[in-house]
Every structure is written in structure tokens, then in C-alpha cells.
Structure 1
Amino acid sequence: MSGFRSAASSFSSIHRPQGISSPWDTPVATPHESPATTPGGSPILRDSDGKRLPKADDIKMILSDVDGTLFTDAHELHPTTRDAIRYIRQTRPNVPFIPVTGKQLTSCGDLVKELGIEDMPAACMHGAIIYDKDRKIEQSMSLDPHFVRDVARLMRKHNKSTFLYVEEWNAMVTKEENGSKDWEQVARGFDPAVRDERETDFMQRVLKGKEKISKIFLPMDESVVPDMIDLIEKTFHKVPFKITRALPYIIEIVAEGVDKSAALAFFCAKFNIDPKNVISFGDGENDVGMFGASGYSVAMANGMPKPKAVATYQTGSNNDGGVGQFLNAIFRPDHTEGPDARLNPDHLSMLDERLGAVESPLAAGAYP
């Protein structure tokens, strides 16, 4: 993580191919534009692969994943991302900025305030619940209660942790014993409102319809994920449901029909915006549908292979403020970031520990 220069140079430095020195370089001009400018005289912005970036006026709505995209690995907003979004909110208040996330709304409170998007709707738990700007539910989908119970039984049999998401909190109903990680703490890192319901009547309340489950969250060692997905699909091959992943070591199950692309369609209809004028950001397999439905899609450098393969563009990692880098390149390409647009030493030290750095880059003076 080096110090930031201008938005354009910071963005284009991700992996610039030989022969392209800046986003303004234009190898081939169309008959209607000069090599350096559009008909209106503004510079043609290109990404590090030479792809032409959309003009600011082409973007009518912005959708973004949260964990691994807006948030760093320490579950905090990167300053570059925060400042870029706040700038757009101030200068283009008619462009909706909407979080579309696997998280619960209660876990996005600080994010909403920091970005100044209190007047915006949200799609949570991969789009299973959609809220309006007043935080009232406009649309929701839940899983069959007997299927939920049977998945929990299967996980208990195979010594895996199970977390069941209701609207505002989630219940731990099985816990892996002697695992490589404390999966309860991992779950709390994404959505802190975890309750241990292993010895309660919670599952009975689910079966009676008193608790509606929007998402099943199954964290485990990444090495066993493929086999566990195969087991779930074979065991419940007659039950309608959908498996998705935001991170390689977490299996998430939602109702059939739940997808971020459906949330995008809902918001496009709500705001009367053509999907071709939507830009979306994400890092997980659960973002692939949203990428396919939006006119412009941007995968994070830290993203999984599938979203990277289908995205229109790629940007820096979540820990480098990749969302902010990309938005700055479009909405304020001449912007130069000051010293506040860096992660503080405590945050960097936390990232070193979380990423398993053998020798701390912070201690070695690698960060400004």
C-alpha cells in the first residue's frame, strides 16, 4: 500500500500493460473523437488495460457489495473509498448509491452514516430482504423451516457450525468442535449480533413460523467446502434453494430466486433507471448475477475467480480502497489525495496480523 497520487495514476498503477502510460492514452480514435478527447473536449479515461471508462454522466446508479469490497479485511471503510463516495453524494445527489450485501441491515449502520447514504434503500442478505429509505421492508424471501432444520442436523452430524439469519440477528445452532478456527468469532466479524441458541427452543420457533430464516451461514475450512456443497446438493436435491459464496471459506444458502441481480432490477424499476447506466462493485461469487445485469461491473483485486472473469473492469483491493480509486478515476480524475487517505498504523498492524504477514510491512517501514 503505497501513498496515493492522483486518482487516475493511483487507479492505473494496478497492473498497467506495457505501452500505456496513463488512463488518458488512447491507442485508437473513433471517427467522432480525437485521440485525447471526447467531442465535448473532456479527456477519454481508460483503465489499466486500456479499456475506456464510462463518463460520469453515463452513471445513473451505483450498487456495491460491502464485505471485501467497501470494507477492508478489518471490516472498516478505507478512507479513499469513503471520501470518493461522499464526494459523489455531495456533487451528484440524484445518483443513488445503494449497498447490496450479504450482511444484515443492523450491521451496516456505521457504514450508512460514514457514507452519507441515510436516504438510500438497501438490499441485505444477498437481496433476500430489500429495505426502502425509511428502513421498512419492501420485499423479503425466506427459507422453508423444515429444510432449515434438516441442514442444521446435517451440519451437526458432520461437526460444522451453523448460523441462521433472522432479520436483525443470527442464531448459532451448531458449533464445530476442535476446529482450526473459532467460527463463532468469524461470524461475529461479519454480523456481530450472534446468539448461542443451541440449548434453546429457537428451532421450534422456526418450525412454527415464529422466526423466518433469510439465510443459512456455514463457515468452515476452505479445503472441505467443495465436498460439503456437493453433500448439501445431493442430500436436498428435491428442495428449492440456492447456494452462494461471498468468500471461499463460507457457504451461504438462501431461498431460490434470491440474487443480487434481482435486487438490481428492483432498484432500477424503483428509480426508473436503465440497467446499462448502473455500475456495480463486488468480490464474491454472489456478485456474479449483479455483474451480468449491470452495464458496468468492477471486480476487486482481492475477488474470487468467477466475478473477476465476468466483470467489465478490475480495480485495486479492498485494503487499497479499490472502489474509491475507480470512482475517483471517473468522477474526479484530477483529484490528488492527501495524507488522510491512508490507513492508520493500528489498522495496518491489524491487517498484517489478519493476513498472516511473516515480517510486518508496517514495522519494515513499507507504509507512509
Structure 2
Amino acid sequence: MANDLVRSAVQSMSGLGSSSGTASPWDTPLATPHESPATTPGGSPIVRDSDGKRLPKMSDIKMILSDVDGTLFTDAHELHPATTDAIRYIRKNHPDVPFIPVTGKQLSSCRDLIKELDLADMPAGCMHGAIIYDHKHQIEQQMYLDPHFVRDVARLMRKHNKSTFLYVEEWNAMVTKEENGTKDWEQVARGFDPAVRDERETDFMQRVLKGKERIYKIFLPMDEEVVPQFLELIEKSFPDVAFKTTRALPYIIEIVAEGVDKSAALAYFCAKFNVKAENVITFGDGENDVGMFEAAGYSVAMANGMKKPKRVATHQTSSNDDGGVGKFLNKIFRPEMSDEPDARLSVDHLKQLDQQLAANSPLAAGAYP
């Protein structure tokens, strides 16, 4: 059954024979982790982040990929002014550097962001890369879940009194709702993707089973302390089904088709723009960003992020509520805007200065005992 599902998902991808001739990310070897030039002696000018790590030179960055919720968006689901200003500056002054949102969100929930950041001519990876859109926001390819698996997950959640949201392309259906929970999970879901419809008493699931509605992502919000047991329950309940669980936030389990990952989206966009993965910088805060972080030359975890992406990332910036993405990009593209000193000196030159300082110091000259 697992092989059939994978085959079904792969066959469902669209755009493989598009006139653009662009290879699918599922046909493109994934970029592999490597030592970033930003952490290699002699690789970069010495501009440092808050952890004291060297930053890449502006010329090292050929493409920027960013998560949205918890990264570009503040906790209020708004763009921070510092982030907006930095990205609009890059779009205006460095139009050859693609800036691409790669998010768990639907494209419909990113339209205001796309407009505000001047990204209307950019492609996008949505629902963790389950759908890849071209620069005209037409679907280039897609991977969706087996409909019977979707139904069975919803049944399992209903049995355990948990909420279930099923994502089609432009909206999402609430098919089960937790009763007497600690939070109104419907309102939580609307905070991330507002187009929620209550489909508990409709024929929605029948349309899914008949193939009239494609489900790209299952969204399961719940109290954080029970997440580990439900991750285990889902894995044990469907041992023969090919799927992947991930988390953008600690209290939300998300399920996508096997093979869906932000690293696949990164590989796709690298092929599309003829950019090497080592020249890509990525931003994110969730476990769903880890694959993208491992594949990119430079990866930046938000201060508000989960533990795993922080461990994997080559760099860290301040929180989403502090405009961390914008502040980090300014250090690379507009160092004069940074609050920290700009030390754009090569490693060899810094060593030479250190040697001169040591030779000319009062201590070296014997002025002190």
C-alpha cells in the first residue's frame, strides 16, 4: 500500500512536462549539507551575527528562502516594519536575488504579504512544499495525501476528541472539533489561515474520497503536552501508509505526503534559477524548516524558534516580533543600517592587525613588569 501511495502521489504532480523545461524537485537530487563558507576560515568578510559568527558577503547570497509564520510574521500575524523595509530594499536594489516564501501556509493566506513585500513576480512553495507555484502563481507541481488515509486520520482524531483541519488549495475544512478543550482550536487555525470552513455536517469527506477535493496537508492543533503521544499514536495506527509528520509550532502536528519537504522546494528553486545551494540563505523557526536549513549554505533560526532548527542553523537572529529577518538581512545588504559595528575586513587583514597590535602594545614593549 505504501508503494502505491507514493506512486499515486508522484503521478499526481503537475507541470513535469511544462514548456519551461524546469525539472521537478522530486527529479532533482536534493542539496546536501555542507560546511558553510560563513563558518569556514577565510570564507567571508568579518561581519558577525549576535552569536559572534561570521556572516556571508553580499556577493555570496544568490537566493533567499523564508518561512512565514513565526519568521516573517510576528505573533500577531503581521509583518514587522524592519523586515518589510529590508526585503523591499533588496527587491528594489538587488532584483537578481530571488526572495521566495516557502511556508506551511496556503498561497491565499500569503497574498497580502506578497503584495507588501513586492513579491508578485516570485514563485512560492506552500504547505511545506506540497504545492510549488510559478512566478505567475500557477501550480507547477503538487503532492497530496491518499484520501482514505485522510478519512482514517479524521476518524482517529474524532475518537480521541481532537480537532482536524484538512487543507485543500485555497481553504481548509474543519472536519472534527475538540469539545471542552483548553483553547478554541478553530480560532487558532484561523489565525494562521483564515479561510476555515466548518464541514462537519456536510458531504466534504465524500468529495475527498471521490477525488473531488485534494488534501495537501492535515493540521492537528492540540495541547503541547499531548503532542508526543499523538505523534506516536499516528505512527502506530498507520504503519503501512507513506506519509510524513512535521511541526511548525510545538502544539501543532501537520501531516503531508511522503516526499514533501522544504528541502525539495529549495532544490527545485535552485534548479529553476540556476543557483547553487551553497549560495542560498534560509530563515525559519520550526522543525519543518530543518530540511531546508540542512540543504542551504546559510540558515538562520529565529530566537523564538524551536530547539531543533536552532541546533541545525548556521546562524541565529532576534525574534519575529523584533524584526529578526530584516535586521539580519540588513547586516549583509545594508551594514550601515545595522546597530552593530561593521567590520568588513578579511580574515588575513584582521590577523595582520592583531599582530601589529601585539607588537606595538605597551606590554610587548616591556613597559609593564
Indicate the TM-score class for this superposition, using the shorter chain for normalisation.
0.7 to 0.9
1:94 lines up with 2:91 in the alignment: no
Q: Which has the larger radius of gyration?
A: 2
- State the Cα deviation string for residues 274-321 of structure 1 (Å, max 9, x = none): 000000000000000000000000000000000000000000000000
Stretches of structure 1 lacking an aligned partner (at least 5 in a row): 1-28, 338-368
Q: Which residue, out of 190, 196, 203, partners 2:198?
A: 196
- State the Cα deviation string for residues 310-352 of structure 1 (Å, max 9, x = none): 0000000000000011000111011269xxxxxxxxxxxxxxx
Distance in 2 (CA, whole Å) between partners of 1:273 and 1:164 is 34
Residue 305 of structure 2 is matched in structure 1 by 303
Residue 50 of structure 1 deviates from its aligned partner by 2.4
1:62 lines up with 2:56 in the alignment: no
**SS in structure 2 at match of 1:155:** helix
Residue 133 of structure 1 is matched in structure 2 by 135
Q: Which amino acid aligns with 1:252?
A: E
Residue 123 of structure 2 is matched in structure 1 by 121
**SS in structure 1 at match of 2:268:** helix
Residue 159 of structure 1 is matched in structure 2 by 161
Distance in 2 (CA, whole Å) between partners of 1:177 and 1:87 is 47
Q: Which residue, out of 270, 278, 283, partners 2:280?
A: 278
Residue 185 of structure 1 deviates from its aligned partner by 0.3
Q: Which amino acid aligns with 1:314?
A: Q
- State the Cα deviation string for residues 7-61 of structure 1 (Å, max 9, x = none): xxxxxxxxxxxxxxxxxxxxxx97x79xxxx8xxxx6211233221000010000
Distance in 2 (CA, whole Å) between partners of 1:135 and 1:97 is 14
Distance in 2 (CA, whole Å) between partners of 1:188 and 1:218 is 13
**SS in structure 2 at match of 1:172:** strand
**SS in structure 2 at match of 1:334:** helix
Residue 360 of structure 1 is matched in structure 2 by none
Q: Which amino acid aligns with 1:248?
A: P
Distance in 1 (CA, whole Å) between partners of 2:51 and 2:205 is 51
TM-score, with structure 2 as normaliser:
0.80
Specify whether residues 309 and 158 from structure 1 end up closer, same or farther in structure 2 by C-alpha distance, changes over 3 A only.
Answer: same
Distance in 2 (CA, whole Å) between partners of 1:50 and 1:150 is 49
Q: Which residue, out of 142, 145, 150, partners 2:144?
A: 142
TM-score, with structure 1 as normaliser:
0.80
Residue 188 of structure 2 is matched in structure 1 by 186
Distance in 1 (CA, whole Å) between partners of 2:81 and 2:133 is 26
Q: Which residue, out of 52, 55, 69, partners 1:53?
A: 55
Q: Which amino acid aligns with 2:113?
A: L
Residue 358 of structure 1 is matched in structure 2 by none
**SS in structure 1 at match of 2:336:** coil
How many residues in Structure 1 have an aligned counterpart in Structure 2? 300
Q: Which amino acid aligns with 1:73?
A: D
- State the Cα deviation string for residues 145-166 of structure 1 (Å, max 9, x = none): 0000000000000000000000
**Equivalent pair of 2:51/2:316 in contact (CA under 8 Å):** no
Aligned-residue CA RMSD (Å): 1.4
Stretches of structure 2 lacking an aligned partner (at least 5 in a row): 1-39, 340-369
Distance in 1 (CA, whole Å) between partners of 2:185 and 2:220 is 9
Q: Which residue, out of 111, 114, 124, partners 1:112?
A: 114
Residue 326 of structure 1 is matched in structure 2 by 328
Residue 13 of structure 2 is matched in structure 1 by none
Q: Which amino acid aligns with 2:270?
A: C
Residue 231 of structure 1 is matched in structure 2 by 233
- State the Cα deviation string for residues 204-248 of structure 1 (Å, max 9, x = none): 000000000000000000010000000000000110000000000
Distance in 2 (CA, whole Å) between partners of 1:156 and 1:200 is 16
Residue 3 of structure 2 is matched in structure 1 by none
Q: Which moved more, 1:328-337 or 1:52-61?
A: 328-337
Distance in 1 (CA, whole Å) between partners of 2:104 and 2:221 is 14
Residue 219 of structure 1 is matched in structure 2 by 221
